[in-house]
Structure 1
Amino acid sequence: MSAATSAIKPRQLAPLALSGPTTLFFIGLVLLPLLLTVILSFNSYDYTAGIQSDFTFANYLTVLQDEYYLSTFWRTLRLALLTTVITVAIGVPEAYVLSNMRKPWRSIFLLVIIGPLLVSVVVRTFGWSMLLGKNGFVNSALAIVGLDPVQLLYTETAIVIGLVHIMLPFMVIPVWTVLQKLDPTVEAAALTLGASRFTALRRVVFPQAALGILSGSLIVFALSASSFAIPGLLGGRRLKMAATLVYDEFLIELNWPLGATIAIIVLVANLVIMLAYNRLIERQAKRKLG
């Protein structure tokens, strides 16, 4: 009995030994910094003495009662949702077309979609700033056709354009991955039974791709809501989003507790929205797919 017990113990400890290093890395690189940020958010700050070690809710009351911070949070939420909707509208059809391509065109267009990810976000955002600037390509093209120039740079429109360009691959790839696993004969059967192309897409293909759309939209929303470089370069100093607020409080105002408070509020809001959206989409997908 004891020999059998001693022989079982190493097998029982094997999963712990395999997952232990990863768990330690996760605790040290994610949970511990997050815990320290939460603790820091409850400290006060004095511009002459620095960070105080007392416990206070003043930072949260300051943020949640200030119209400036609330308007910035609303702008962040609105632009992140708009970016997600636009990437779904563009990325899902693009993924469907990509899934129906044959080799070698599929590999070529897949490389075109993934290729921009190899270029720095800052470099691509600078490119958009040159295109959307006062003397950029867009206004030059409008001048050629006799139209007045428009102010695009340092507007919410510029931020959304930059975010959609950066986030589009994160929508296309999950949806394309799901569509690759679908049986193509199911759509062909719907067409054979008299369904139109649009009806087959709406009733057969896209409901089965709902999990890919869910994954892509969650990634796009989270990355858009926490984006820093794109709002900072295309929105300027006037149009701030949550990440630029955190940057200002940490590195310009040096008010680390207030910056930590803003970061925690944004994190909690993102989690609540993403979990609610996840439950909604999964419930609809189960209802449609049975």
Structure 2
Amino acid sequence: MAASSQPSRSLPWLLSGPALLLFTVMLLVPLALTAVLSFNAYDVATGVKPGEFTLAHYAQVAGDDYYRGIFWRTFWISALVALICAVVGTAEAVVLSRMSQPWRSILLLVVLAPLLVSVVVRAFGWSMLLGPEGVVNTALQALGIGRVRLLYTEWAVVIALVHVMLPFMVIPVWTSLQKLDPQVESAALSLMASPFTVLRRVVLPQVVPGVLSGSLIVFGLSASSFAIPGLLGGRRLKMVATIVYDEYLHELNWPLGAAVALVLLVANLLVLVSLNRMVEGRYKRALG
């Protein structure tokens, strides 16, 4: 019996072996090399010193107000984008789940359509809309408000990121709504609950896992976004991804760029894990 059960225990490892190998080669090895690079010493005249190791790059990131300000800007913009996407995306998912064919398929195609267009193309589109002579400022002038500086500001980055990240919120919430039993809503309505009460007390608590999953995805992707902040934020409005790009390609300080990238990765993981535990704990307590 022991000999016959041995192959069954090793079978999952054999089947997952190619995926684990690909994961190791494509993710773990580059991360390990980046970690080693982040500890290498750097000299402006000679460049990277492979044989010398130092913690100066991490000390610079942690002790310099410039880098702390960039990390703070990155995280508050990402949190705001996740919050807006949670509100708008949940409403869109609820409407989507209530629609009948063929309108459901049409709206789903509209929601997913931004994913079919390159992020760079969408960023250039928003730059034309939010520019001094763009559609938004033209409309504001027609209304008598006058021009408003939108391009190369935090709000331009937030607007474009919401547009890009919204599908990543709608799909998880919509998936959670598909698991909701319609008879539960009918039972609440039969007990004289108002539609708003049914939405607040029955529907929304059921979609908390979808909202949590979507928020984590949106926050993580927004914090590491490069194209949107680079094109709509300009050279003065820096985020962490643009700093990494500058250190690698402009300053040629690869160890500092690697240190910034790893600090972003660790900070991102800490925020996501903490948010997941906090929301999941409250959700479990609410459900008893």
Q: Normalising by structure 1, report the TM-score.
A: 0.96
Residue in 1 aligned with 2:44?
47
Is 2:172 the counterpart of 1:183? Answer: no
Q: Which amino acid aligns with 2:19?
A: T
Distance 1:104 1:180 in 2: 17
**Percent identity for Structure 1 against Structure 2:** 61
Per the TM alignment, residue 11 of structure 1 is displaced from its structure 2 partner at its CA by 2.8
Residue in 2 aligned with 1:157?
155
Q: Which amino acid aligns with 1:12?
A: R
Distance 2:240 2:134 in 1: 28
Per the TM alignment, residue 6 of structure 1 is displaced from its structure 2 partner at its CA by 4.6
Q: Which amino acid aligns with 1:51?
A: V
Is 2:190 the counterpart of 1:210? Answer: no
TM alignment of 1:193-204, pairs within 5 A: 193-204=191-202
Is 2:59 the counterpart of 1:61? Answer: yes
Residue in 2 aligned with 1:84?
82
TM alignment of 1:232-271, pairs within 5 A: 232-271=230-269
Residue in 2 aligned with 1:37?
34
Q: Normalising by structure 2, report the TM-score.
A: 0.97
The alignment partner of 1:275 has SS state of helix
Residue in 1 aligned with 2:274?
276
Q: What does the per-residue CA deviation read over 1:35-87, in whole Å, with 9 as the maximum and x for residues that have no partner? A: 11111111111111111121211001111111111100000011000101111
Per the TM alignment, residue 136 of structure 1 is displaced from its structure 2 partner at its CA by 0.5
Residue in 2 aligned with 1:24?
21
Distance 2:222 2:55 in 1: 28
Q: Which amino acid aligns with 2:233?
A: G
Distance 1:17 1:129 in 2: 50
The alignment partner of 1:52 has SS state of strand
Query: 1:178, 1:212 within 8 Å by CA — same for their partners in 2?
Result: yes
Distance 2:101 2:46 in 1: 65
Would you say how many aligned residue pairs link Structure 1 and Structure 2? 287
Is 2:226 the counterpart of 1:228? Answer: yes
Distance 2:256 2:17 in 1: 35
Distance 2:287 2:91 in 1: 21
Deviates more, 1:38-47 or 1:256-265: 38-47
Q: Which runs of 5+ in 2 are unaligned?
A: none
Distance 2:280 2:79 in 1: 19
- RMSD, aligned CA: 1.1
Q: Which amino acid aligns with 2:41?
A: S
Distance 1:176 1:232 in 2: 31
Distance 1:203 1:9 in 2: 50
Deviates more, 1:165-174 or 1:190-199: 190-199
The alignment partner of 2:53 has SS state of coil
Distance 2:274 2:144 in 1: 48
Q: Which amino acid aligns with 1:33?
A: P
Residue in 1 aligned with 2:130?
132
Q: Which runs of 5+ in 1 are unaligned?
A: none
Q: What does the per-residue CA deviation read over 1:226-277, in whole Å, with 9 as the maximum and x for residues that have no partner? A: 0000000110000010000000001111100000000011111110010000
Distance 1:222 1:146 in 2: 39
Per the TM alignment, residue 9 of structure 1 is displaced from its structure 2 partner at its CA by 3.6
